[in-house]
Chains A and B, each alone.
Chain A
Amino acid sequence: MIDRRVINNFDWSTLFIAIVLSLIGVMTIYSATRPVLDVAQKTFYIRQLYWIGLSIMAFLILVSIDYKWYIRFSYIIFFLGVVLLVIVLVAGRKGMGAQRWIDLGFMSFQPSEFFKIFFIMAVSRYLSQIGETVSLGLRSMLKMIVLFFIVPAVLILKQPDLGTMLILMFIFISLVLVAGAKRKIIILVVVGSLIALPFAGKIIWGGLKDYQKNRIIAFIDPQADPQGVGYHINQSKVTIGSGGFLGKGYMKGTQGPYRFLPEHHTDFIFSIFAEEWGFAGSVLLFLMYLLIIVRGFDTARKARDREGCFLVLGVTFMFSYYFFINVGMTLGLMPVVGVPLPLMSYGGTALLSNFLALSMIANVRMRRFALYY
């Protein structure tokens, strides 16, 4: 099954950057959670290392299977994913006001993390089956929304996990737009949403939980109540800003260990990195993420078929949205949404799902030369 030429064409770069970024993540987690008082260090970084090992293995296994199989079974996988989302709601473990985890005893994971990839696979298959030259009309769009989006979106919102739902929505819209929605529809969607925004805004606002409202208020005016809802944003800005051009140096950051910045090893890991490595380090980090993203788009262009193209586009969009929403949040450019930084934030499921997503890029890239098959 493993072709020599596949090994020759293996996408080392994507795997290498992913490993480097995840190791930088572990280093930063280690520094962020280092105890400043005389207590034992929490073992987040060790657990993260285990997950990196697991993720690399999963990456290698998934890469070795031609992605056409994933596409072939995508609808079944999608259906199983939806079933997992239902199980979470019925039997999931609660934590921090949400029900997102399935506990397997020896480990727990968030099905919604993997579901995004299942979703991308299924949508890719569907989009690629619609004729190459035919533009997407209104009818086929609505059909797709009903088929793929409505059910999982509602299930995820129920957890509640607004961040994941929004990302799912963004991926879906982006794919449809790139796939060739008619210009008329694009204009219609833009104009329609602009008109509907105030009304929808009111309805959505009413439906938001208090903490979600607070995050939006804090985003609009972080100084409104520095101790309250704006605290995260302000402290994140202080953390990043205090790094200066060259940073305070590794293990010299204070905002995380001194607990001024909450969620320092998860959602705000970039702030800690920027505090210790400064502007210079952050630019290098940005470039590594940019490399992965641009490589993803490049792979989509070069894919041997439309399935591969959409698959890679989907995961690249996903990766990009995570990156921009997370970093945008730490920079105070976006509201606080509980979205991790891909590859670096502490959290096994997210890490694994990111490696799986990147393995799709590698998979498609390795097999881009249709000639060989």
Chain B
Amino acid sequence: MDKRITIAIYIVLFSFVLFLFRLWDLQVIRGAEYRKTDERNRVRVLNIPAPRGIIYDRNSKPLVKNIPSFDITVVKEDIPKDPESMSALSRLTGLTIDNIKKRLKSPSSPFEPVTLKEDISNVEVAVIEARKMDFPGLQISVVVGREYIYGHSASHVLGYLGSLNLRQLRSPEYSGIPHETAIGQFGIEKVYDETLRGKTGKKVIEVDAVGSIIKVVRIQRPIKGRDIHLTVDIDLQVEAEKSLKGKAGAVVAIEPNTGEVLALASAPSFNPNLFVRGIDSKVWRGLVNDPFKPLLNRAIQSQYPPGSTFKIITAIAALEERLVDENTTYYCSGSIFFGRTFRCWKHSGHGYVNLHKALVESCDVYFYEVAKKLDIDKLAQYAMGFGLGRPSNIPLEGEVPGIVPTSGWKRERKNEKWYRGETLNTVIGQGYLSTTPLQMARLTGAVVNGGRLYEPSILAGTGSEEPESIVRIEPKYISLIKAALLSVVTDKKGTGKAAQSDIVSIGGKTGTTQVVGGVSKKKDIPHRFKDHAWFVAFAPENSPQIAVAVFVEHGEHGSTGAAPIAKRIIEAYFTNKG
């Protein structure tokens, strides 16, 4: 029996040695690795979102505010994944199991919380707080949401926020931004995202097995994004949008002496509040497929022939090139033959017309006569001098340059020589010529300003003191043009009578752009074939403070479709000023 006891002792000793080897393996050989696992068990790094900078209008009225919203987040590693817990989680959050699984797959490190559901109600917050113990890793995170106080207003300027897309996630520009952060995806929010964004803070915490915070190890406070002041006057902006209600079009109002944008409205618009917490795909498709393209900023992102508003440039070119003077007179019979018949909009004709009358009554034949003598490339020089044919460099995305045709342009684009007949179309703002409403507002400002063209600014304090360029024009010609533009509004035969105001003297020029040739005079044509309406305006008569361009898609006539809008905005501007 002694022998058998000895065997037992050996077995015990052998087992002890075996256990010691195992202990050595766990604690010494793999100790560091387990130490790391242990830390991963309890140490979490949480992001503290930085409050985004506030955007103010020129009178320091806030246009956006940050509002806290609550998200359900989970730590992937901690959440139980058995079917039973999954269905319990599904009941708790109201999400389908598939949806939860999909969310859990989103790319992030294992211990970075994944957002399960955004923007939950206070009741949901209470329910989840109460049930938290049953779901380790489940948390409610406070997210800084964004509210656009004026809703649809200035949406094309302000833009909207959205989650980082895949390209942005990989781009170094957005590195270090937590994936759940909403960043600017359009408008000012996007262009000045880096300024507005601030710096996400970090909180290193220790948690226990159910995710309760045991202690805060280290905290790095977030840095609030910088506030931005716009040059836009929100009251004027709202007025502009009201006047475009039910229409597709754009209104741009600028300060002629600084280039500051007072209002930049595009209709129809959209509600940026829909985007903040991730836009519903159905709503998004609705916006994208809407035939009236609400996401398009018509003030800068689309270009149209300027119509008769361009006659201002033609008149300046004709005067400066000494082709006409204030007394030069042509006879308008309603049309002119130059290779083919070119009609005046007034088929009965204007009779004898000088430059003043030609602008006031918008006689086409007068400018056709000028066109016969005017070189297209010379005209283009003036057009470009006033900022047409190139982006204005307003700090908003997607600005289109417009087109100022030249002989060289035509050779390059169409591989054809320039026909003089085409100049006739161009001088009245038709043909290849196309401009954006912003360009037209800027042009108007520069003309009444004596040829000083300012780069438009939308961020207060960023405008240049000096004009971008100066077109040298004889002051007497400027006076001549200004007088004519004032008469457009005041003269009983003026095409812009609808803009006449009791409050302030307004000058302007109408424009009507043919959408389909030949049908424009008929009644009851479909909306989409109706002419576009333009009106550019300035006020007051002496040292103008505001220049406006109004464009209404299928607004039929500049005189009726656009001029009243310009009046309304200018009046609002001066009324508000007091």
A, B bound: yes
A interface, CB within 8 angstroms of B: 36-37, 174, 177-180, 227-228, 237-245, 254-255, 257-260, 274, 278-279, 282-283, 286, 290, 293-294, 297, 300-301, 309, 313, 317, 320, 324, 327-328, 331-333
With a cutoff of 8 Å between Cβ atoms, the chain A residues found around residue B27 in the complex are 240-241, 243-245, 274, 278-279, 282
Cβ-defined partner of B80 (8 Å) among A227, A259, A294, A331: A227
The chain B residue with its CB closest to the CB of A331 is B22
Give residues of chain B (62-90) contacting chain A, Cβ–Cβ below 8 Å.
80-82
Q: Other than A241-B27, A241-B37, A242-B31, give 14 A-B pairs with Cβ distance below 8 A.
A: A36-B208, A37-B212, A174-B8, A180-B1, A180-B4, A240-B23, A244-B31, A254-B42, A257-B208, A286-B23, A301-B2, A324-B19, A327-B19, A331-B26
Instruction: A218 to B1: give the CA distance in the assembly, Å.
Output: 39
**B212 touching A260 by the CB < 8 A rule?**
no
With A227-B80, A286-B20 known as contacts, the answer to whether A242 contacts B214 (CB < 8 A) is no
Instruction: A336 to B371: give the CA distance in the assembly, Å.
Output: 98
**B26 touching A293 by the CB < 8 A rule?**
no
**A333 touching B1 by the CB < 8 A rule?**
no
Q: Is the interface of B mostly helix, strand, loop or mixed?
A: helix
Instruction: A260 to B20: give the CA distance in the assembly, Å.
Output: 24
The chain A residue with its CB closest to the CB of B214 is A36
How many whole Å from B126's CB to the nearest CB in chain A?
Answer: 21
**A241 touching B2 by the CB < 8 A rule?**
no
With a cutoff of 8 Å between Cβ atoms, the chain B residues found around residue A242 in the complex are 31, 34-35, 37-38
With a cutoff of 8 Å between Cβ atoms, the chain A residues found around residue B1 in the complex are 178-180, 309
How many whole Å from A288's CB to the nearest CB in chain B?
Answer: 12
How many whole Å from A128's CB to the nearest CB in chain B?
Answer: 11
**B209 touching A331 by the CB < 8 A rule?**
no
With A36-B214, A279-B24 known as contacts, the answer to whether A241 contacts B5 (CB < 8 A) is no
Of the listed stretches B9-17, B395-403, B427-435, chain A binds B9-17
With A37-B214, A282-B23, A331-B23 known as contacts, the answer to whether A245 contacts B28 (CB < 8 A) is yes
Cβ-defined partner of A258 (8 Å) among B9, B37, B41, B82: B41
Q: Is the interface of A mostly helix, strand, loop or mixed?
A: helix
B interface, CB within 8 angstroms of A: 1-2, 4-5, 8-9, 12-13, 15-16, 18-20, 22-24, 26-28, 30-35, 37-38, 41-42, 80-82, 206-210, 212, 214-215
How many whole Å from A314's CB to the nearest CB in chain B?
Answer: 12
The chain A residue with its CB closest to the CB of B11 is A320
The chain B residue with its CB closest to the CB of A245 is B28
With A177-B4, A324-B15, A333-B19 known as contacts, the answer to whether A260 contacts B32 (CB < 8 A) is no
Instruction: A148 to B24: give the CA distance in the assembly, Å.
Output: 41
How many whole Å from A280's CB to the nearest CB in chain B?
Answer: 9
Instruction: A180 to B5: give the CA distance in the assembly, Å.
Output: 11
**B5 touching A178 by the CB < 8 A rule?**
yes
With a cutoff of 8 Å between Cβ atoms, the chain B residues found around residue A260 in the complex are 41-42, 208-209
Query: What are some 30 contacts across the A-B interface (CB < 8 A)?
Result: A36-B208, A174-B8, A178-B8, A179-B1, A180-B4, A238-B34, A241-B30, A241-B38, A242-B31, A242-B34, A242-B37, A243-B31, A244-B27, A254-B38, A255-B41, A257-B208, A259-B208, A259-B210, A260-B42, A278-B27, A279-B23, A279-B24, A279-B28, A290-B12, A294-B12, A297-B12, A324-B19, A331-B19, A333-B18, A333-B19
Instruction: A290 to B14: give the CA distance in the assembly, Å.
Output: 11
**A258 touching B208 by the CB < 8 A rule?**
yes
With a cutoff of 8 Å between Cβ atoms, the chain A residues found around residue B82 in the complex are 227-228
With a cutoff of 8 Å between Cβ atoms, the chain A residues found around residue B5 in the complex are 178, 297, 300-301, 313
**B32 touching A328 by the CB < 8 A rule?**
no
With a cutoff of 8 Å between Cβ atoms, the chain B residues found around residue A333 in the complex are 18-19, 22
With a cutoff of 8 Å between Cβ atoms, the chain A residues found around residue B8 in the complex are 174, 178, 297, 317
With a cutoff of 8 Å between Cβ atoms, the chain B residues found around residue A255 in the complex are 38, 41
The chain B residue with its CB closest to the CB of A237 is B26
**A239 touching B38 by the CB < 8 A rule?**
yes
With A258-B206, A313-B5, A331-B19 known as contacts, the answer to whether A293 contacts B30 (CB < 8 A) is no
Cβ-defined partner of A320 (8 Å) among B12, B208, B215: B12
How many whole Å from B305's CB to the nearest CB in chain A?
Answer: 67
